[in-house]
Structure 1
């Protein structure tokens, strides 16, 4: 239940041709308290309720709990979320022994493209593809929970 991940900006669309999966995600937040977030997500034909704890100082590790829920329940929960629903397309891109999840954002976050990689440990080595740019791990403004409050197009 501990998530270890790093987050990067993306410098080109080269990942699209390398992707093995592409799916639309719509998500909102029932709670964006600094100590925890509660997210509702619809991904393809599935839906999830997720609780995430506060990140460690480096921004790489935090508690995460997720439970699949019926899509109609998620749709109702989205209607009571905090303002700023996130709309994005996610590409799963295999690179070496890992999968990068690359998110292209739309709506008020149009133009932002971010890649995340989940790791087994904070110091795990991984291959960096040519389209991977500046690391933004731990930069709160790139958290999805904050993009709803302070969208990319307003920066």
Structure 2
């Protein structure tokens, strides 16, 4: 299926990823819609902005439809004003390990203290190396979906 996003999500055991990161970027994002069948996200990542629609995850939580388009930053700022309550802020670190890119998000605000890593895959059964700092897998646990973190922040758990 075109536009299929396949990813796995993990907690972090240590901050060793920080000194291996090739980049770090501040992200601000909000949700225009957080219905489980479809989420509509507005994201400002550094000096770029995006509008993203995601479909419902499959049973394992590893795959779902994703469509994304670049928009003007000012448009994103205006759209964030229309978003549901619970704007997320985080710092994203990009770390390459054995030919896979891990995106490690250090959440800020009401989600401070939560650090998650995601790795995108070509197919659900793809084998990939796991760096030492990677912790427990939380793929498919809806509490860790960004759309849910905007409604029920980590500090409330």
Length-normalised TM-score, structure 1: 1.00
Aligned mate of 1:93, from 89, 92, 95: 95
How far, CA to CA, are the matches of 1:46 and 1:56 in structure 2?
Answer: 29
How far, CA to CA, are the matches of 2:47 and 2:15 in structure 1?
Answer: 26
Once the two structures are superposed, residues 65-89 of structure 1 have per-residue CA deviations (whole angstroms, 9 ceiling, x without a partner) of 0000000000000001000000000
Indicate the residue corresponding to 2:142 in structure 1: 140
How far, CA to CA, are the matches of 1:144 and 1:34 in structure 2?
Answer: 12
- The question of 1:17 aligning with 2:19 is answered yes
Indicate the residue corresponding to 1:112 in structure 2: 114
Alignment of 1:5-154 (within 5 A): 5-154=7-156
Q: Secondary structure at the match of 1:148?
A: helix
CA drift at 1:127:
0.4
Number of aligned residue pairs: give it. 155
How far, CA to CA, are the matches of 2:40 and 2:107 in structure 1?
Answer: 20
Once the two structures are superposed, residues 40-97 of structure 1 have per-residue CA deviations (whole angstroms, 9 ceiling, x without a partner) of 0000000000000000000000000000000000000000100000000000000001
How far, CA to CA, are the matches of 2:122 and 2:27 in structure 1?
Answer: 25
Two-structure CA RMSD over aligned residues (Å): 0.3
How far, CA to CA, are the matches of 2:63 and 2:140 in structure 1?
Answer: 9
Gaps of 5+ in 1: none
How far, CA to CA, are the matches of 2:156 and 2:76 in structure 1?
Answer: 28
How far, CA to CA, are the matches of 1:110 and 1:33 in structure 2?
Answer: 24
